[in-house]
Structure 1
């Protein structure tokens, strides 16, 4: 009788296949239970109260906005007891640890959370609808930048009309002390929202007798060239630059931090970017206008539970702003 030589080979093959499957499963568990929890870099995220909470809310976003999201998280967490909830933050603190917003939202589906507060950057890719394991949709509130295609129950962000007036108030003293004030809004003045912001800013300047301003609403390269020329112009002893978008704020600050004689330019920036925070702390940025993150977190919690009880939410909620001065 011949021995069956294929039997040991089959057993080895099956053993290797089983080991590979177990390795894959272990890797997935490690990713969601070990790597993702380290993204926050704050140690324990869940509140240690000794009591089990009924609801689970996730705050998610990417590394560029981690400082802002930390404060959104604090605002949401301040109402966790009131709403019988655990609030969890998932935001990489370092660029090296960064990952897509979709990956972070997939984590929300993985843990079957009850709601998501997501910071959306301007060039975000299309997002899949977040769902639980039973197929029900996870309600998501977005902050940062409004993208209508995203499956969201509500957006908390800019009221462009009032924001333009408020920026006028905050930049008035800079504009009065300058030979020229540049209002930078690269390529967006035709957008109705930004158009309203510019109009209200200009209306405020006119009401205060400020006429030495120039609106830079052309392409980015043209606006940058105009700012560099103005900084180098000996006839302009003092200049002010008022930026109405986060992208323009970053571009202007790169110019101001690298071009000789740029110290004579005072800059008011807008946005929540980590890099702008650094410029502010170094004193290179005169003022930084941003939305109030703590109040956004609190507003989002109220909106979630309004949605749970009534089945609908406000589509667009105006956020309050905060203003900080550079050192």
Structure 2
């Protein structure tokens, strides 16, 4: 299964609870997508709570170099993105904050539509959003406040296939079941979601995990097992060319599950993605501001 040259697929990666392997799954998705199309990871976490600044083997200028509320060119966006190598020479990019720890925090950009627009300007077809908030808490908080939550907004983007991660433990499965119950109660597209069960060690999955998987599998698009990988535990995803065979297989299974869900929802081939208009050669925002001249 492939992604056509005119399409774009959005994969927001959510976690049922902390310690769910969300960033690892996001990196595996980017690794698999990069073998097909230009791909990027959007790092939504604050700088000091994110692994991506350390995982970027070739850092770019970073999110701080992108001016807010101003027109952007593709060159600006790509200059801000770092690059991570992947198997077969198919690297992928990551947009994160590369400044020193002591730098003041950037103004948060939470709106999924803004991140989607940034990815569209960059021309990426495979877009992986590494979200930074507990899924169930966001859904319940938004419902209580009478507003649209970030989870719902990500699910509403064009060709968006949510991936929900949890640790393959009894407590992780319980948190996942609660998150999916909250999502279903809010009318979110649970049937379009892909579940990633992230193993915390070698060996057979615990009985509560296997039982929970059996119960949830008919309700979602797919369930993918992400095996324990000592390479990732030791070095993260700085260099995906060193991933083990089982992790690469999980990467491929995640991508195939996402594409299958997208095609089941929007058809095959997927509809053409929107393309932002190009900046004119002499855009006013690029022109110098003239100095005031006093006339006697």
Larger relative contact order (Cα-Cα within 8 Å, sequence gap ≥ 6): 2
Same-fold status (TM-score > 0.5): no
TM-score norm. by structure 1 comes to 0.28
